[in-house]
């Protein structure tokens, strides 16, 4: 029973609806789009991520014997329903923004075109995957913008929300421009560079801090980054300097130190001085401890001599805005465009495309959302990625995605690079053709007699 691939990783209402769809032979083609309704506070853009996991999920979708057994025995469905589920595979098409693409509210990042039961069932897990990676990539991009040229590392596994969040946060932040992660499974499964040396417990398990430094250096001579804030940071920096010549005589180089508490601007300056005067000008200073993009921006602005940052909880939980208003909505069924008109939650109907416009320097200028096939200028962002349940291309490598993301960040207008909400948000126009379609859908709905059977 693999939790991560089970089709029962869904909401019960998907199954009750599927049962009703089968009972009424409602198997015509449905079009659902996944998009974010509005920006979270203090966000100016989002970065799409999670497509690879979404496609993997769709490609492998099937009910295992233990899943079917649960459906049969749960008492909620008549006999026969499990037989439908046993045959269910994802046979539809998918269009999507390539991972690493910057996008904005109301712009679909994923479109599923498939027989209604298939397209319906996958809603919960598709949002679950795409929402989280997009959330973290969008958060990570902020520290990447705040600390140009610095080494950023994901330290978040322990306070990520479960195992998969830890793994996918490493992937999403790497896409956005982090140098790597501390999470070993991310290296093992996704070949993401992995970083890590020692914790306070290592120091504390020794009676003497200098002895702990020396032992670590002897055991891990290629990876000597010493944690110096367990007791007294500057005193510890002096111990590092004292130790260096003895290690050097044995061919061991101290690569750096890490600070994990205290006033990082002051401590990094004092430690830099101690290291420089002690002949360790090449040793780097790495900082961690309750960091986020705001604190990093302030440290960079204060010219704190810090070469890299470990960012944990704030990154992997996107702590200042731990969710996106991400939804997956039916836009068309049986050839007819559809929309909900719930108060405050109305959607734009039909199959849509996003057309991006650039300024003279190649920077993002504005986007236009219209119906697919509308003869619009601009770069269409949604591309076909799956047809009849099969991928159109091999999985994209993380390096290519990372390069795309970097290219996208380079094209961001200055006002959207700030950590606070831009006074002038990015312009996303709804094209006349889409407004016209929405009006048509509403007119058609009002023509249906209210209580026809």
Q: Name which of residues 239 to 298 contact a second copy (CB under 8 A).
A: 239, 242, 260-263, 289
Taking the least distance from each CB to a second copy, the nearer of 67 and 106 is 67
DSSP codes of every residue in 272-337: HHHHHHTT-TT-EEEE-SS--HHHHHHHHHTT----EEEE-HHHHTTTTS----EEEEEEEETTEE
Residue 26 beta carbon to a second copy: minimum distance, rounded to whole angstroms: 6
For residues 216 and 234, what is the distance between their CA atoms, to the nearest angstrom?
19
Interaction residues for a second copy, span 21-40 (CB under 8 A) = 21, 23-24, 26, 30, 32
Size of the site for a second copy (CB under 8 A): 127
Which of 85, 97, 109, 198 contacts a second copy by CB under 8 A? 198
Residue 90 beta carbon to a second copy: minimum distance, rounded to whole angstroms: 17
Residue 356 beta carbon to a second copy: minimum distance, rounded to whole angstroms: 27
Taking the least distance from each CB to a second copy, the nearer of 98 and 166 is 166
Taking the least distance from each CB to a second copy, the nearer of 149 and 162 is 162
Span interacting with a second copy, options 88-96, 232-240, 350-358, 385-393, rule CB under 8 A:
232-240
SS3 call for 227: strand
Residue 123 beta carbon to a second copy: minimum distance, rounded to whole angstroms: 7
Answer yes or no whether residue 403 interacts with a second copy by CB under 8 A: no
The length of the chain is: 453
Residue 317: CA atoms inside 13 Å, Cβ hemisphere, count? 13
Interaction residues for a second copy, span 349-388 (CB under 8 A) = none
Which of 340, 390, 427, 436 contacts a second copy by CB under 8 A? 340
Residue 13 beta carbon to a second copy: minimum distance, rounded to whole angstroms: 4
DSSP codes of every residue in 152-168: EEE--GGGSSSHHHHHH
Sign of CA dihedral 134, 138, 140, 145: positive
Residue 208: CA atoms inside 13 Å, Cβ hemisphere, count? 6
Which of 45, 104, 132, 174 contacts a second copy by CB under 8 A? 132
Which of 38, 80, 231, 400 contacts a second copy by CB under 8 A? 231
Residue 402 beta carbon to a second copy: minimum distance, rounded to whole angstroms: 20
Taking the least distance from each CB to a second copy, the nearer of 196 and 305 is 196
Taking the least distance from each CB to a second copy, the nearer of 322 and 363 is 322
Residue 316 beta carbon to a second copy: minimum distance, rounded to whole angstroms: 8
Taking the least distance from each CB to a second copy, the nearer of 168 and 371 is 168
Interaction residues for a second copy, span 199-218 (CB under 8 A) = 199-205, 207-208, 210-211, 214-216, 218
Taking the least distance from each CB to a second copy, the nearer of 55 and 198 is 198
For residues 75 and 14, what is the distance between their CA atoms, to the nearest angstrom?
16
Q: How many C-beta neighbours within 10 Å does residue 294 have?
A: 16
Which residues, other chains included, contact 369 with Cβ-Cβ below 8 Å and sequence gap of 6+? 106, 107, 348, 352, 353, 354, 355, 428, 429, 430, 431, 434
**Could you tell me if 347 and 107 are in contact, meaning their C-beta atoms sit under 8 angstroms apart?**
no
Site string for a second copy, 174-193 (x = CB under 8 A): --------xxxx-xxx----
Bridge partners of 309, per DSSP, are 152, 287
H helix or E strand, kind and range, residue 86? helix 81-87
Interaction residues for a second copy, span 143-162 (CB under 8 A) = 155, 157-162
Burial of 141 (0-12, 13-18, 19+ CB in 10 A): buried
For residues 130 and 124, what is the distance between their CA atoms, to the nearest angstrom?
10
Q: Which residue has the tokens 């790597």?
A: 180
Which of 86, 194, 412, 433 contacts a second copy by CB under 8 A? 194
What φ, ψ does residue 429 adopt, rounded to 5°?
-90, 140
Which of 84, 111, 125, 352 contacts a second copy by CB under 8 A? 125
Span interacting with a second copy, options 91-99, 142-150, 220-228, 273-281, rule CB under 8 A:
220-228
Closest listed residue to residue 107, CA positions, set 436, 419, 434, 409? 434
Gyration radius from the chain CA atoms = 26
Reading the block at residue 107, the tokens are: 């712009």
Which of 163, 248, 273, 302 contacts a second copy by CB under 8 A? 163
Reading the block at residue 324, the tokens are: 């996106």
Which of 38, 303, 345, 415 contacts a second copy by CB under 8 A? 345
Which residues, other chains included, contact 432 with Cβ-Cβ below 8 Å and sequence gap of 6+? none
Which of 245, 322, 362, 384 contacts a second copy by CB under 8 A? 322
Taking the least distance from each CB to a second copy, the nearer of 191 and 403 is 191
């Amino acid at each position: 029973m693999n939790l991560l691939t089970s089709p029962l990783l869904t909401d019960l209402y998907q199954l009750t609806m599927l049962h009703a769809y089968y009972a009424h032979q409602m198997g015509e083609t449905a079009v659902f789009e996944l998009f974010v309704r509005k920006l979270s506070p203090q966000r100016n853009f989002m970065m799409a991520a999670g497509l690879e996991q979404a496609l993997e999920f769709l490609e492998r979708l099937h009910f295992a014997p233990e899943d079917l057994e649960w459906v049969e025995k749960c008492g909620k469905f008549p006999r026969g329903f499990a037989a439908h589920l046993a045959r269910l595979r994802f046979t539809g098409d998918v269009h999507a923004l390539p991972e690493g693409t910057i996008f904005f509210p109301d712009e679909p990042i994923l479109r599923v075109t498939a027989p209604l039961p298939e397209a319906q069932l996958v809603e919960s897990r598709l949002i679950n995957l795409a929402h989280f990676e997009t959330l973290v990539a969008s958060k990570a991009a902020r520290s990447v913008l705040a600390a140009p040229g610095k080494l950023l590392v994901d330290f978040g596994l322990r306070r990520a929300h479960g195992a998969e969040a830890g793994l996918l946060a490493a992937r999403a932040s790497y896409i956005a421009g982090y140098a790597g992660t501390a999470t070993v499974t991310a290296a093992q499964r996704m070949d993401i560079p992995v970083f890590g040396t020692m914790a306070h417990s290592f120091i504390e398990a020794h009676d003497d801090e200098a002895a702990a430094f020396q032992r670590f250096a002897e055991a891990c001579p290629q990876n000597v980054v010493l944690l110096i804030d367990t007791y007294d940071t500057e005193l510890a920096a002096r111990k590092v300097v004292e130790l260096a010549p003895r290690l050097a005589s044995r061919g061991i180089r101290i690569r750096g130190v890490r600070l994990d508490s205290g006033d990082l601007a002051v401590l990094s300056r004092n430690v830099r001085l101690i290291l420089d005067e002690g002949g360790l000008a090449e040793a780097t200073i790495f900082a961690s401890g309750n960091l986020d993009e705001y604190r990093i921006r302030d440290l960079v602005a204060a010219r704190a001599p810090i070469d890299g940052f470990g960012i944990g909880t704030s990154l992997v939980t996107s702590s200042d805005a731990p969710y996106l208003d991400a939804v997956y909505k039916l836009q068309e069924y049986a050839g007819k465009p559809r929309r909900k008109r719930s108060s405050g939650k109305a959607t734009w109907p039909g199959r849509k495309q996003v057309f991006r416009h650039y300024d003279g320097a190649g920077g993002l200028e504005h986007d236009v959302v219209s119906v697919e096939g509308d003869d619009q200028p601009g770069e269409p962002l949604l591309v076909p990625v799956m047809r009849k349940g099969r991928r159109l291309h091999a999985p994209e490598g993380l390096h290519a995605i990372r390069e795309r993301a970097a290219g996208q960040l380079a094209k961001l207008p200055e006002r959207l690079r700030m950590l606070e909400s831009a006074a002038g948000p990015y312009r996303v126009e709804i094209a006349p053709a889409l407004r016209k379609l929405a009006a048509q859908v509403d007119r058609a709905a009002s023509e249906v007699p209210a209580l026809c059977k």
